Copies of this chain bind each other. A is one copy, B any other.
Amino acid sequence: MEPPAPDELAVGRALAAQLQVRCLAAGLRLATAESCTGGLVGHLVTGIPGSSGYYLGGVIAYADRVKHELLAVPDATLQAHGAVSAQVAAAMAEGACRRFGADLAVAVTGIAGPDGGSEAKPVGLTYVAVAGVTGTEVRRHQWHGDRGANTRQSAEAALRLLLERLGEEPVG
């Protein structure tokens, strides 16, 4: 008999619960800007009862046009660096912060796979960014899983980056 399937979102849920406690305590309001994670960060955040106390909402900016039109990512930045780049991740986070009037915003852009990779930008390459009053920070990751695993790891990395910005040691 197979062992029980692990809850693949358990780590993400634990991080989201920790983030909620911290944001509610600090009175910080959060927005999200997601490309490759397609809404998973929002799903994890809103899975915790009481999340409406600090989560304003987000933009799922799957098409590049949406990154420009809803998050004000400059077309020149998209063209010069590509959608999966540190520059676009930073611009997405800053754009979400402004658009939602949030204290803090997190952004994710990456190549979940199985298609869309290249030698310079392989499948699994992901940038997460956090923006807020104390500035913008970007982190680069290279995952090696399938589409589902890459997406989950990207969402967890986004939550961890938020917790680090808040001076917390992430659980999980």
Residues of chain A at the chain B interface (Cβ within 8 Å) = 1-7, 32, 34, 36-43, 45-47, 49-52, 55-63, 65-66, 70, 99-100, 112-116, 147-148, 151
Contacts and interface: CB of A to CB of B under 8 A. Distances in A.
Given A2-B4, A60-B60, A115 B39 contact: no
How many copies the complex holds: the figure is: 2
B66 A57 contact: yes
Contacts of A47: 38, 147-148, 151
Secondary structure at chain A's binding surface: helix, strand, loop or mixed? mixed
A150 to B, nearest CB: 11
A13 to B, nearest CB: 10
Nearest to A56: B63
Contacts of A148: 47
B60 A32 contact: yes
Contact of A57 (B40, B59, B114, B147): B59
A7 B8 CA distance: 9
Interface centre among A49, A51, A115, A147, by most chain B C-beta atoms within 10 angstroms, is: A49
A152 B2 CA distance: 25
A41 to B, nearest CB: 7
Nearest to A3: B4
A4 to B, nearest CB: 5
A40 B155 CA distance: 13
Contact of A61 (B4, B37, B57, B116): B57
Contact of A62 (B52, B62, B116): B52
